[in-house]
Amino acid sequence: MAQKYCFSGNENCRYTGYPKMDAYFSATTKEPSLWTPLLEANGTPQAKKIIYSPHHSFTPQDIVTLSTFAQNGKLMLELAKKYRKETVWVFKPHPQLGMKAIRYGIFKSQAEWDAYLAAWETLPNATVQLTGEYHRLFQESDAILNDSASFMAEYLFVDKPMLQLRRHDQEFNEFGQMILQLLYQADGGDAAAIERFLQKVVFDGRDPKQPEREAFFAKYLDYYHATHHTAAENIFGSLYAQLVIDGGVK
């Protein structure tokens, strides 16, 4: 893509990996588990662990238009209630979702948004994560319902099924289009399709896209096994070679 779009081509590009994903190749993470207390409180240790992660971009004013929250925000709450014994949920919205949902009239006030968050928190099988790291959250989950762009690639690092919630005006670059083919997809307002994903893929464990995800990850995203270093080490090594060894910096 750099070769295609950058005026200088790809001469100044280096393949290093993604520093945020280094945590998956290290045993030093100290993130607490959100799932363990949920499972214990709900009394269902075998429940499926589901993330719901809506984006904030509702209109073209947001540069991109990805969010389907206006169509499914209440639906997801109802599904969490319906499958209380079969599932536990973490509602993980983009940090800007609340502000944007109020700006665009999905909620009339901050109080309404706060009440929506409270509705998740008061469920015995759900909680909310507004900030913080999410490597362990991803690792220990069973599936994600998502309309974010970055999570499309990041969730491939844990090799779990994703339902990408679609709207007609979503746009993705070539890399995003490649990833979309690896994901289960449904219109963001199609309650029946969303529930079918839960029943067939999550509950029944029928995940026919898993081999495709694994092959794509190995070819394009598994930088650690390709380079035998973390992204941070690759970046440092590249800078050191350019600035110190080749550049003669003392």
CB of 120 within 8 A of CB of 128? yes
Please report the pLDDT score of residue 61 as a whole number.
86
Query: What would the pLDDT profile of 96-133 be if each residue is shown by its tens digit?
Result: 999 999 999 999 999 999 999 999 999 999 999 999 99
The burial class, CB within 10 Å (0-12 / 13-18 / 19+), for 189 is middle
H/E stretch holding 144 reads: strand 143-146
Query: What would the pLDDT profile of 15-58 be if each residue is shown by its tens digit?
Result: 999 999 999 998 766 789 999 999 999 999 999 999 999 999 99
135 phi and psi, to 5 degrees?
A: -65, -50
> Residue 149 half-sphere exposure, CB side, CA atoms within 13 Å?
14
Residues 6+ away with beta carbon under 8 Å from 171: 64, 65
CB of 194 within 8 A of CB of 80? no
Query: What would the pLDDT profile of 74-89 be if each residue is shown by its tens digit?
Result: 999 999 999 999 999 9
Residues 6+ away with beta carbon under 8 Å from 59: 65, 104
